[in-house]
């Protein structure tokens, strides 16, 4: 009986290999495929590979692909199994890195950036559903944080790995990212666990209409979180460098601090979910983020910017394990958890893509007013926070 109790207290040692495989998948498909593109943008323009307009267009291709991948992830897994679908998607991202070393045309680049986005969306839907059923329930928040730590490592890596590679040239940079992706794909190849029997056959699930209303509110909440994270993710460096006229060096340092936050976020948020519960943790995190984004709009000293960058940087990768933990709180069986998480990811991806275009339009219309965007993003976070209180307003007896 003592052994059984211990198993509940900490994941068995054998589960760390699947968790590592999940970390590799999130690092390759989101951390590198999306965030390593950001520091490459100036070089792509300066080397005359593409015009400034084309570079922004190519960046959006990844976000559009992410939405497509979120929709295709579960059907793909049903046809190929989760393990094989994840392997295939990691290979697709790797191929995209190598293909981007050759600027044959805008169409060529768009297709490969789109494919890398599709792979990222599919992996985001499938990776937790593949690994977490093998983890004791009491440690799933921490385990999901470890899986999505890969996103944070990619954000940090975009500010540390890419600049040295760029000194070798753009072609060498893309090839270097491809080699790194290939190595991580190889290291994760045999780490994926087998699909559980009930993953493939989930005919016994409760009818769709029994889904708790709180799940749909979570979809809306998660969507506004996506809208709230975009401005800092896209415009933070430009705000420091050009908006505050602090220079590229200070902008790079602030981005490194953002990356530090991105590394801290997933595991610390997952730890919060295990110890405070997902709902209370989401409330706390949203309150902190709303204040941080509001302060970012008025902050000018390096110390303030650095501290806020750590806090805000923890949010994009950190909310993933929190939202996933909330799905597990609200939905009882594994199949319906998969369905709910897939829909939550689609909701997130849709608002993220729309917000990306909307904020860019607002930025141009406002004459490059960064603070205006940060205040709007703080408002989106406040709306996400208020969504959590709708059940209590509609039904005073609802559970907090």
8 Å CB contact between 293 and 312: yes
Q: Is residue 251 part of a domain?
A: yes
Tell me the C-alpha distance between 243 and 272, whole Å: 35
Query: Residue 278 is encoded by which pair of tokens?
Result: 């997902």
Q: Is residue 162 part of a domain?
A: yes
> Are residues 165 and 36 part of one domain?
yes
Tell me the C-alpha distance between 32 and 23, whole Å: 12
> Are residues 224 and 361 part of one domain?
yes
Q: How confident is the model at residue 171 (pLDDT cuts 50, 70, 90)?
A: very high
Per-residue confidence (pLDDT) for residue 89, from 0 to 100: 96
Q: Is residue 108 part of a domain?
A: yes
Q: Is residue 171 part of a domain?
A: yes
Q: What is the DSSP letter of 102?
A: S
> Are residues 117 and 215 part of one domain?
no
> Are residues 265 and 144 part of one domain?
no
Q: Is residue 153 part of a domain?
A: yes
Query: pLDDT tens across 312-362, in order?
Result: 999 988 898 899 889 988 887 777 888 888 889 889 889 888 887 788 788
Per-residue confidence (pLDDT) for residue 261, from 0 to 100: 92
228-239: b (≥16 Cβ within 10 Å) or e: bbbbbbbbbbeb
Tell me the C-alpha distance between 350 and 194, whole Å: 31
Which of 201, 216, 240 is the last residue before a domain boundary? 201
Structural domain of residue 80, as residue ranges? 8-201
Comparing CA positions, the residue from 183, 90, 88, 86 lying closest to residue 130 is 86
Which of 162, 179, 201 is the last residue before a domain boundary? 201
Per-residue confidence (pLDDT) for residue 188, from 0 to 100: 92
> Are residues 321 and 364 part of one domain?
yes
Q: Is residue 3 part of a domain?
A: no
Average pLDDT of the residues in 149-155:
86
Per-residue confidence (pLDDT) for residue 386, from 0 to 100: 93
Q: Is residue 1 part of a domain?
A: no
> Are residues 310 and 290 part of one domain?
yes
pTM for the model stands at: 0.78
Comparing CA positions, the residue from 228, 265, 246, 248 lying closest to residue 304 is 246
Helix (H) or strand (E) holding 320: helix 315-330
User: How many domains is the chain partitioned into structurally?
Assistant: 2
Dihedral, CA atoms, 375, 377, 383, 388, nearest 10 degrees?
Answer: -130
pLDDT, the chain, mean: 84
Per-residue confidence (pLDDT) for residue 213, from 0 to 100: 83
Which of 167, 201, 235 is the last residue before a domain boundary? 201
Per-residue confidence (pLDDT) for residue 187, from 0 to 100: 94
- Burial group, residue 91, by CB count within 10 angstroms (0-12, 13-18, 19+): middle
> Are residues 209 and 67 part of one domain?
no
Per-residue confidence (pLDDT) for residue 175, from 0 to 100: 95
Q: Which stretch of 41-45, 61-65, 168-172, 383-387 has the lowest confidence by average pLDDT?
A: 41-45
Dihedral, CA atoms, 148, 153, 155, 161, nearest 10 degrees?
Answer: -150
Q: What share of the chain has pLDDT > 90, as a percent? A: 34
Comparing CA positions, the residue from 92, 149, 155 lying closest to residue 119 is 92
Could you tell me which residues come within 8 angstroms of residue 79 by beta carbon, excluding any fewer than 6 positions away? Answer: 85
Q: Which stretch of 90-99, 140-149, 380-389 has the lowest confidence by average pLDDT?
A: 140-149
Q: Which stretch of 34-43, 258-267, 291-300, 373-382 has the lowest confidence by average pLDDT?
A: 34-43
Per-residue confidence (pLDDT) for residue 24, from 0 to 100: 93
Per-residue confidence (pLDDT) for residue 156, from 0 to 100: 82
> Are residues 226 and 161 part of one domain?
no
Q: What share of the chain has pLDDT > 70, as a percent? A: 89
Query: pLDDT tens across 18-67, in order?
Result: 889 999 999 999 889 988 887 787 778 778 888 866 777 787 788 889 88
Residue positions counted in the chain: 400
* pLDDT higher than threshold 60 for residue 190: yes
Per-residue confidence (pLDDT) for residue 6, from 0 to 100: 38
Q: In the chain, count of helices (H) and strands (E)?
A: 18, 0
* pLDDT higher than threshold 50 for residue 8: no
CATH classification of the domain holding 232:
1.20.1250.20
> Are residues 215 and 184 part of one domain?
no
Q: How confident is the model at residue 197 (pLDDT cuts 50, 70, 90)?
A: low
Q: Is residue 264 part of a domain?
A: yes
Comparing CA positions, the residue from 97, 96, 121 lying closest to residue 26 is 121
Comparing CA positions, the residue from 313, 311, 352, 122 lying closest to residue 222 is 352
- Pick 175 or 48 by higher pLDDT: 175
Per-residue confidence (pLDDT) for residue 206, from 0 to 100: 46
> Are residues 236 and 112 part of one domain?
no
Per DSSP, the residues of 119-180 read HHHHHHHHHHHHHGGGS-GGGHHHHHHHHHHHHHHHHHHHHHTHHHHHTT-HHHHHHHHHHH
Q: Which stretch of 99-103, 123-127, 204-208, 384-388 has the lowest confidence by average pLDDT?
A: 204-208
Q: How confident is the model at residue 97 (pLDDT cuts 50, 70, 90)?
A: very high
Tell me the C-alpha distance between 180 and 94, whole Å: 9
> Are residues 284 and 143 part of one domain?
no
365-376: b (≥16 Cβ within 10 Å) or e: eeeeebbbbbbb
> Are residues 162 and 241 part of one domain?
no
Per DSSP, the residues of 219-242 read HHHHHHHHHHHHHHHHHHHHIIII
């Amino acid at each position: 009986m003592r052994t059984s109790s211990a198993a509940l207290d900490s994941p068995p040692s054998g589960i760390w290999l699947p968790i590592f495989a999940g970390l590799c998948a999130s690092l390759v498909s989101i951390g590198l495929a999306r965030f390593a593109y950001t520091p490459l943008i100036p070089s792509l323009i300066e080397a005359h590979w593409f015009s400034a307009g084309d570079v922004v267009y190519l960046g959006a291709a990844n976000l559009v692909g992410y939405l497509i991948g979120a929709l295709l992830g579960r059907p793909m897994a049903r046809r190929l199994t989760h393990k094989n679908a994840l392997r295939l998607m990691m290979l697709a991202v790797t191929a995209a890195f190598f293909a981007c070393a050759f600027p044959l045309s805008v169409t060529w680049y768009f297709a490969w950036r789109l494919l890398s986005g599709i792979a990222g969306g599919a992996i985001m839907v499938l990776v937790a559903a593949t690994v977490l059923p093998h983890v004791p329930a009491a440690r799933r928040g921490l385990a999901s944080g470890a899986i999505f730590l890969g996103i944070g490592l990619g954000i940090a890596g975009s500010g540390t790995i890419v600049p040295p590679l760029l000194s070798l040239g753009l072609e060498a940079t893309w090839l270097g990212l491809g080699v790194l992706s290939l190595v991580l794909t190889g290291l994760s190849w045999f780490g994926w666990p087998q699909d559980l029997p009930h993953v493939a056959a989930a005919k016994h699930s409760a009818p769709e209409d029994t889904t708790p209303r709180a799940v749909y509110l979570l979809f809306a909440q998660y969507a506004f979180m996506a809208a709230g994270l975009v401005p800092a993710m896209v415009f933070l460096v430009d705000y420091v460098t050009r908006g505050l006229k602090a220079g590229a060096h200070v902008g790079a340092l602030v981005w490194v601090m953002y990356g530090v936050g991105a590394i801290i976020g997933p595991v610390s948020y997952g730890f919060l979910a295990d110890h405070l519960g997902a709902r209370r943790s989401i409330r706390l995190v949203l309150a902190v983020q709303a204040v941080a984004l509001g302060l970012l709009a008025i902050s000018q000293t390096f110390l303030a910017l650095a501290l806020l960058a750590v806090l805000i940087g923890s949010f994009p990768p950190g909310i993933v394990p929190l939202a996933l933990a909330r799905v597990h709180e609200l939905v009882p069986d594994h199949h319906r958890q998969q369905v709910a998480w897939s829909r939550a990811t689609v909701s997130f991806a849709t608002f993220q893509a729309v917000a990306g275009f909307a904020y860019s339009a607002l930025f141009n219309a406002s004459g490059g007013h960064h603070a205006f965007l940060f205040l709007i993003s703080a408002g989106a976070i406040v709306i996400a926070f208020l969504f959590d209180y709708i059940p209590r307003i509609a039904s005073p007896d609802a559970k907090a």
